[in-house]
Amino acid sequence: MNIPASDASIPVLTQVIDAPPPKPQARPSDDVKLGHPAGLAAAASAESASEEWAQIERLLNERVLRQIQGRIDFVLEHRVKDGLAESLQRVSEELTAEIRRGLQTTLADIVARAIAQEIARLQARK
Is the distance from CB of 42 to CB of 32 less than 8 angstroms? yes
Average pLDDT, the chain: 79
State the pLDDT at residue 46: 72
40-60 tens-digit pLDDT = 666 667 777 788 888 999 999
Q: Please tell me the pTM assigned to this model.
A: 0.39
Nearest CA among 26, 3, 66, 82 for reference residue 58 = 66
User: Residue 9: pLDDT above 50?
Assistant: yes
Distance, in Å, from the CA atom of 92 to the CA atom of 89, rounded to the nearest integer, reads 5
